[in-house]
Structure 1
């Protein structure tokens, strides 16, 4: 079992885990062996093109093919939508500011001849990259333009985006066939200078067999929810420098790998800024060895992990001579995470060994500190020199030797090191908690512009929270969602109505809440009050909202999943919402409203009351885009619950479908029940598809339920299809 070691790393105290101080290791060539200076724009141009000059992808590929080595194809104006391109050795692309080179969304254009691109299978290798550098030498990509992979666009001929395909692959335990943005194979002396890479369907830059590569002033940008969108992945590579760049992604910001094709060494990662993403990673493929890596002058601002090394016995190898120096971190769930069991169920003999790892002048405002060696014979070997973590932080260690170098007086001030992502509307991280920038969530929200991240550190926040701006991201920073609690005690009769009784109001389009517990305690504090006692935990009324890893607790009307104040006398705009991997507790109509909401792997827990009603969906008309879909959810209950109704129709066209959900045995045989004897079941749309558990099929269901047929299964196959058709 991992040992919990209290370790405050500052000038006042230091707990040393080792026999004796062994001294600072020498790192020799722990960096790119070249002398690197800022690149220059190409001196020679073979052709200048605007989008008017390039009516189709064939013309752009032809321009590349006919350009002499040592010269550049210069894109000067417009939007270029292209099929995949293969770079000719020595030929560069130069994109002026304002130019966008956008990838087609046609999967056939990327297909390798198997018809797999844009589908799921057990391999995930069915697509060519958008830009391929194969057997390439000299040149690269230059300029202030944008290369856009269109990962958020619907795949041509499909009903989901590339990123939704990746999420579906995760749910179905398969691999997505989606194109990488840029692939470098057997490449020498390549440069990426100032260009912006964004929205890749898969990895942004993947490297294999690369020698001497420079990334200078590059910006990489993808949403936090976009799965497998690594920034830059040097694999089987040597003498690589990544500097003065800005990276935010949905996966590793950088991941240094050493897979079956060869090892990786002499890498310099200097003067960079990382934002959302999984951090500065080594692994998980390390079987051919990673060594001589320098990470210097790095900020990790809101990444899930900060400094990370990951591998397991199926792909482990030797990782050594790694130096992290002058690193500033804030709002990270894990500040340091060195793990030799990345896949806890992996079986194999490739043992990961991490040694000669040094953290020098590394500072964090919090986050977990993890170091797990494989066993005593293959212990981690880490030296800490002038590192500063909060006094309350604890190391979670096992099979690890920690050594110390000289300590410095006082923690350095990192505040000036954190800068916003370079864009017109910066996405800034605001920290909340004891000793943080703000002590209340609402005060941070009041100061934050659109698109900001609010990192909420563990504690109980007794306040009412209004998230009114779009694209806000609220994330709890505890080990579990139960460590970061927002709670209150308020009900409809004292708040001005049911909809005004919530503890948290998520009102902005594109808002994201994750890893939090939100509780309205009114029922437990005032059990004798039953009139107008509706007491919401969360009111969600925006479009494109995402809620993940939440625990919502209330009694009557726990969650309002609704549209923007829809009325019968005007058009109703969709409020598309996604709830994932969460738990919702309640007793009476505890999920209600007229949103178009998809619930994925959510536990619906019935609290102590003889008769519990799960949903009161409020679709107002046959053509309103509204309905609830529960996919792979579970229905559970307290012991004193006798009967469970899956829902009753709050409005005439209430729409609820349960797909592949596990039913508690106390679910009524009819499944659904009427709303106060108003005969709304005849117009409501209720369905149960492929249920499991002892409550899945107990006698005849409500006679007006939707017939389970091919059309229904297709309409509820994915969130995008559900949102498009809205039953």
Structure 2
């Protein structure tokens, strides 16, 4: 009889099997609250040299019920390695997006005591799994990160991988002792959510003797030739849902088993996609029964078998009440494979019986064998089809089958019968096959397109000023200025430490000359003079003083005629922790008789308990249009003899045995600060400091103020170019000093609405050749989380911690608040056409602001899209809570890019250009 009649008769099927599914009401899971964040200390590329087992297990054991331990990347350090772990009852494990938990390849760690794990022998199963969940309720594994079993890596101390051992055991007909990735035993309501499992040595997940397991949105990824690497195997369990998942592996994608410990029932496989593997299987162990199974909306692309029920006389039982609905199969050798003789040589009295099997809207698009083979006449299978189809030229093996066809039953006996199948229509499986979601590591080095890079020309970046929401178009081309063109500059004042000062045009200190220029500029403005600028010539020498330039009526140019900027230096020592009284003692005299505008700058600092970062500036510029040429600005604090142990506060830091602990701290020490001044220009200047060397500060939030550095040099170690203004560095050198293990060139805190932050074009990023620089682990920057008191982007290791949106920034443990203005300090830096030295990490040049788990953490944000996404993940609604219209209007055009590069050269340690 032709199946053409029966394939369209779904409405009159007499076996609805409505209870064939998980009896629970299963919804998309959510992430549990985090009890502890552990950050990675290793990178896979450099080799996994240590085990994280103890600290992970200790954190899991200490985690309260209902919460989870989170494994997080710390910039480029993204890998954990562990031996066997046990997840306690009620506790979760979260693997962050960029983190990977690797299973150790040391077989001894998994051995059950017989020293046979990692040895092929007559007896198998002598290895503990990598992760065990046993006698637990409500435990789970979550996150967008990876658990990697390293099945394809050499087993420690051996010449084979786990997978090679398994293949050898197959050839030698013995057992391989290889660890499974995850085993769930005798547990209830276990959840796997979004996690990616790959390269398991053996089965990825087994669920045995358990009630309630949900796998939602997970990805399982292991090569097609890796033996016995089943995806998920429910065994003697009930109430299982596997949904919205993607599985490709070397054995059964899913294998539902009814082993010796009881039946498996009430299983739902929903809205998922299978690729390489042996298919959607039931069996081969069915001796205790498998029943009430629903497989709905599944695509199978390239599985050896498609929908498969397999068993034999040595392990057979009853498989019943199984529904397959809305299934699409292609490139399968056996798209439908119901076989009771899985092992042709098997003997025994456990005869498999398959009954009440329904195929509804099942389509096999490419030729493949259709197998419906029951054991014998006394154990026939009963199968119904509706609205289903198979490709032409599909061979068939149908034997001992009761086929439900419309209003009649068709029985196929011992003589196999071929049936005529409908050919699938072109629309049967349209848009049903999805590409496997390959795990692509996040791009921590985004590149601009040529079109995007055009927006970062000098003309575009410097064309406007003022509030970002209402910019003032004011084109500025600093390269056309006499400061750059080489024209002879006028002289209004001369500073010479060795000449006789007259207090009018001749001065011994720079500050005195600036003071006079401020006074004279005010008179020129009152007299409506046409003189557009005042020029101060500084003779060579080192001027040990502070230099404060207030807002001026007429802009000032400070310059030296010596082309070597090192010959003319303004230098002093001040740091953020300097007491106000010490500041007065060191510098008060130079501000005793100055213009009130300068004295006001001094007065704003002198009464502070400590002067702070901004107060440490040696040169402080507030005057619009200020220029400097051939000058060195240096903060000498900690420059003459840098203490390499300064990065380890609250430890003994070099103390000898028996002495009290020594605390050494490196403070911020600014050499040059430009505050609120627009059109500030620096030609062939040197800015020397160590931590926070160059501070570029706007006068108001989201207010564009422009600075331009040409043929200049800036050096430092930590956050040494920082602030929220728009600054263009052109044909200059930026040098990282490497005495610390970590260094950041920039720390921008540009407002999200400000189009441009720091732009570096044709800049040479160099280093001092120190061991830490040569290690290649420094960063181009991290985005300054300015004035925050708590982080909404992650939890910290404190019970009941919360950080919520509010009008103020505050924190009183364990609860804090963060304001919109702080959230909007996103930080922007773009580097173009530049040469980047080997000191900068090649794959991860942009760092997070502090590490996850700390109160000050914020992840690197490369675009306005990241900003928007991070807000949502933090529970902050950009439109409702922050009043944004939409993402595109928040930061249009170039403003949408926060961090980016274009056409840069990155040097390898040997000096060669990185490909």
TM-score by length of 2: 0.44
Provide the rounded CA distance (Å) in 2 between the counterparts of 1:87 and 1:354: 37
Correspondence for 2:265:
265
Deviation at 1:425, TM superposition (A): 8.0
Provide the rounded CA distance (Å) in 2 between the counterparts of 1:55 and 1:225: 29
**2:28 pairs with one of 17, 29, 38:** 38
Provide the rounded CA distance (Å) in 2 between the counterparts of 1:408 and 1:15: 10
Describe the shift of the 1:376–1:157 C-alpha distance in structure 2 as closer, same or farther (beyond 3 A): same
Q: How does 1:194-343 map to 2 (within 5 A)?
A: 194-343=194-343
Q: Deviations over 1:390-441 (max 9, x none)?
A: 2433421111122224999973431310111002689xxxxxxxxxxxxxxx
Provide the rounded CA distance (Å) in 2 between the counterparts of 1:109 and 1:424: 28
Correspondence for 1:192:
192
Contact 1:204–1:232 (CA under 8 A) maintained in structure 2? yes
Q: Deviations over 1:465-491 (max 9, x none)?
A: xxxxxxxxxxxxxxxxxxxxxxxxxxx
Contact 2:87–2:139 (CA under 8 A) maintained in structure 1? no
Contact 2:197–2:219 (CA under 8 A) maintained in structure 1? yes
SS at match of 1:64: helix
SS at match of 1:396: strand
Provide the rounded CA distance (Å) in 2 between the counterparts of 1:353 and 1:271: 28
Q: Looking at CA atoms only, which structure, 1 or 2, has the larger radius of gyration?
A: 2
Contact 1:8–1:391 (CA under 8 A) maintained in structure 2? no
SS at match of 2:265: strand
Deviation at 1:97, TM superposition (A): 0.4
Correspondence for 1:417:
432
Deviation at 1:124, TM superposition (A): 1.1
Deviation at 1:296, TM superposition (A): 0.3
Correspondence for 1:93:
93
Aligned length: 414
Correspondence for 1:688:
none
Unaligned 5+ segments in structure 1 are 1-6, 427-727
Correspondence for 1:63:
59
Contact 1:24–1:405 (CA under 8 A) maintained in structure 2? no
Provide the rounded CA distance (Å) in 1 between the counterparts of 2:120 and 2:106: 16
Deviation at 1:51, TM superposition (A): 1.4
Describe the shift of the 1:101–1:70 C-alpha distance in structure 2 as closer, same or farther (beyond 3 A): same
Correspondence for 1:469:
none
Provide the rounded CA distance (Å) in 1 between the counterparts of 2:434 and 2:302: 12
Provide the rounded CA distance (Å) in 2 between the counterparts of 1:342 and 1:56: 43
Deviation at 1:244, TM superposition (A): 0.2
Contact 2:310–2:340 (CA under 8 A) maintained in structure 1? yes
SS at match of 1:378: coil
Contact 1:199–1:223 (CA under 8 A) maintained in structure 2? yes
Correspondence for 1:380:
381
Q: How does 1:542-621 map to 2 (within 5 A)?
A: none
Contact 1:315–1:350 (CA under 8 A) maintained in structure 2? yes
Correspondence for 2:397:
396
Correspondence for 1:628:
none
Contact 1:383–1:405 (CA under 8 A) maintained in structure 2? no
4+ long deviations beyond 6 Å = 13-16, 406-410
Provide the rounded CA distance (Å) in 2 between the counterparts of 1:400 and 1:200: 38
Describe the shift of the 1:377–1:124 C-alpha distance in structure 2 as closer, same or farther (beyond 3 A): same
Contact 1:380–1:399 (CA under 8 A) maintained in structure 2? yes
Q: Deviations over 1:516-547 (max 9, x none)?
A: xxxxxxxxxxxxxxxxxxxxxxxxxxxxxxxx
SS at match of 2:404: strand
Provide the rounded CA distance (Å) in 1 between the counterparts of 2:424 and 2:127: 52
Correspondence for 2:152:
152
Provide the rounded CA distance (Å) in 2 between the counterparts of 1:264 and 1:271: 21
Deviation at 1:28, TM superposition (A): 2.8
Correspondence for 2:876:
none
Contact 2:299–2:433 (CA under 8 A) maintained in structure 1? yes
**2:39 pairs with one of 50, 54, 68:** 50
SS at match of 2:28: coil
Correspondence for 2:874:
none
Q: Deviations over 1:58-96 (max 9, x none)?
A: 111111111111111011112000011011111100111
Correspondence for 2:103:
103
Describe the shift of the 1:270–1:8 C-alpha distance in structure 2 as closer, same or farther (beyond 3 A): farther
Q: Deviations over 1:299-356 (max 9, x none)?
A: 0001000000000111000000000000000000001111111111111000100000
Contact 1:10–1:386 (CA under 8 A) maintained in structure 2? no
Deviation at 1:48, TM superposition (A): 0.6
Provide the rounded CA distance (Å) in 1 between the counterparts of 2:188 and 2:432: 33
Q: CA RMSD in A?
A: 2.3
Deviation at 1:22, TM superposition (A): 9.0
Provide the rounded CA distance (Å) in 1 between the counterparts of 2:439 and 2:175: 36
Deviation at 1:8, TM superposition (A): 6.3
Q: How does 1:107-186 map to 2 (within 5 A)?
A: 107-186=107-186
Q: How does 1:392-471 map to 2 (within 5 A)?
A: 392-405=393-406, 411=425, 412-423=427-438
SS at match of 1:121: coil
Deviation at 1:217, TM superposition (A): 0.1
Provide the rounded CA distance (Å) in 2 between the counterparts of 1:367 and 1:245: 25
Q: Deviations over 1:432-451 (max 9, x none)?
A: xxxxxxxxxxxxxxxxxxxx
Provide the rounded CA distance (Å) in 2 between the counterparts of 1:83 and 1:154: 16
Provide the rounded CA distance (Å) in 2 between the counterparts of 1:391 and 1:167: 36
Provide the rounded CA distance (Å) in 2 between the counterparts of 1:118 and 1:234: 25
SS at match of 1:120: coil
Contact 1:254–1:279 (CA under 8 A) maintained in structure 2? yes
Contact 1:234–1:264 (CA under 8 A) maintained in structure 2? yes
Deviation at 1:10, TM superposition (A): 4.4
Contact 1:359–1:384 (CA under 8 A) maintained in structure 2? yes
Q: Deviations over 1:540-566 (max 9, x none)?
A: xxxxxxxxxxxxxxxxxxxxxxxxxxx
Contact 2:133–2:139 (CA under 8 A) maintained in structure 1? no
Provide the rounded CA distance (Å) in 2 between the counterparts of 1:180 and 1:8: 46
Deviation at 1:294, TM superposition (A): 0.1
Q: How does 1:495-574 map to 2 (within 5 A)?
A: none
Contact 1:129–1:179 (CA under 8 A) maintained in structure 2? yes
Contact 2:290–2:318 (CA under 8 A) maintained in structure 1? yes
Contact 2:363–2:424 (CA under 8 A) maintained in structure 1? no
Contact 2:390–2:424 (CA under 8 A) maintained in structure 1? no
TM-score by length of 1: 0.55
Provide the rounded CA distance (Å) in 2 between the counterparts of 1:176 and 1:8: 47
Provide the rounded CA distance (Å) in 2 between the counterparts of 1:81 and 1:52: 10
Provide the rounded CA distance (Å) in 2 between the counterparts of 1:188 and 1:149: 25
Provide the rounded CA distance (Å) in 1 between the counterparts of 2:3 and 2:37: 56
Deviation at 1:55, TM superposition (A): 6.0
Provide the rounded CA distance (Å) in 2 between the counterparts of 1:62 and 1:15: 59
